[in-house]
Amino acid sequence: MNRTGIVAKLKNWLKTNNLPSGGNKQQLIARVKGEEHVEQGSFEDFNRYTNSELAEKLKFQNRDTGGNKEDLINRLMGKEPPMPTEGWENSKDREMLFEQLEKTAPTSFRFKTSNEVNLLEPYNRWPRYRFEKYFKSALLSVLKDEAIVSQDNRDFQALSDKNPRADRTRRGEPFWDSHRAKDLLERDLLDAMECDPPKHLTAGQLWMSREEYREFAHKTFSNHVAQQIRYFRQFPGWQKKRNEQAFDDYRDALANERRARQHESEEE
């Protein structure tokens, strides 16, 4: 790869990670590695400078000038952690942060400051002033989504209050989603499936087993039975369990057939 291609790749990586992309090849490589020029001096020495003067020093080195005074000093002294190579948008840290912010428990990150969260693993990998922006952006996004959902719920409730649902459907049957039969059917089917061996109950047998089921037409109830069974079959491991049961049945059938043949041969 020629020199121009390497420089272009370095600059592209720096831009992707929101880092300055100016300077020569050596400066770019040092910036990618997080090994840029480190100013000599103590924190107190640098603290005498104004923010503008500190930013000017960083700008002269083609380095990032964002953050407060402490960030600028730490960057000059080489104490600021380098940006992780994967970038914030593609990082698992971002996913974890959203998960924590979506929680409403008192331990949720939404009740902490960005600086408090930035001290925790794995968020301490990110420069403080950058993480503060990420944190605020994520929190605003979560709160905005919650506000939209809350407004949708209020609109739906207002619409429901204005147009209350009838007691029965147009077919004269109760509504399935709010009827006790829905929970009873789920329990009955689970009990049947968990038996050893599993019980096979037809829709007709179930329909006759409870008074709550017979409040619905047989055809309507049969459709709900089929729907509930399809739902159960989406559970992880259901197909594996079904196949294992089928194999056991097949093996038992072969064993019975073998015993029957052996018995016939003994009689002859």
Q: What is the pLDDT along the chain (268 residues), one digit of tens a residue?
A: 445 578 888 778 777 776 666 666 766 776 676 655 545 566 666 667 787 777 776 666 666 666 677 777 776 666 665 667 777 888 888 888 988 888 877 777 878 888 888 788 888 888 777 788 889 999 999 999 999 999 998 998 898 888 888 888 888 999 999 899 999 999 998 888 777 777 888 999 999 999 999 999 999 999 999 998 888 777 656 566 666 777 777 787 878 888 877 777 776 6
Domain assignment present for residue 214? The answer is yes
131 C-beta neighbours (distance < 10 Å), count:
21
Domain assignment present for residue 193? The answer is yes
Domain assignment present for residue 81? The answer is no
Examine the fold and report which residue of 42, 76, 110 is the final residue of a domain before the chain moves on: 76
Per DSSP, the residues of the chain read --HHHHHHHHHHHHHHTT----S-HHHHHHHHHT------S-HHHHHTS-HHHHHHHHHHTT----S-HHHHHHHHTT-SPPPPTT-STT-HHHHHHHHHHH--STTSGGGS-HHHHHTSTTGGGS-HHHHHHHHHHHHHHHHHHHHHHHHHHHHHHHHHHHSPPPSB-TTS-B-GGGSHHHHHHHHHHHHHHTSSSPP---HHHHHHH-TTGGGS-HHHHHHHHHHHHHHHTTSTTHHHHHHHHHHHHHHHHHHHHHHHHHHHHHH-
Examine the fold and report which residue of 48, 76, 104 is the final residue of a domain before the chain moves on: 76
**125 and 187 in a common domain:** no
pLDDT score of 180: 93
pLDDT score of 197: 79
pLDDT score of 76: 66
**118 and 52 in a common domain:** no
Report how many domains make up the chain: 3
pLDDT score of 263: 75
Domain assignment present for residue 171? The answer is no
pLDDT score of 65: 67
Examine the fold and report which residue of 110, 140, 162 is the final residue of a domain before the chain moves on: 162
**151 and 127 in a common domain:** yes
Domain assignment present for residue 84? The answer is no
**59 and 118 in a common domain:** no
pLDDT score of 229: 85
Structural domain harbouring 227: 176-267
**182 and 258 in a common domain:** yes
**Rounded-to-integer distance, Cα 268 and Cα 265, Å:** 5
pLDDT score of 86: 74
Domain assignment present for residue 169? The answer is no
pLDDT score of 1: 45
Domain assignment present for residue 167? The answer is no
User: What length does the chain have?
Assistant: 268
**113 and 52 in a common domain:** no
**42 and 113 in a common domain:** no
**121 and 65 in a common domain:** no
Tokens for 204, please give them: 């007709």
Domain assignment present for residue 168? The answer is no
pLDDT score of 247: 73
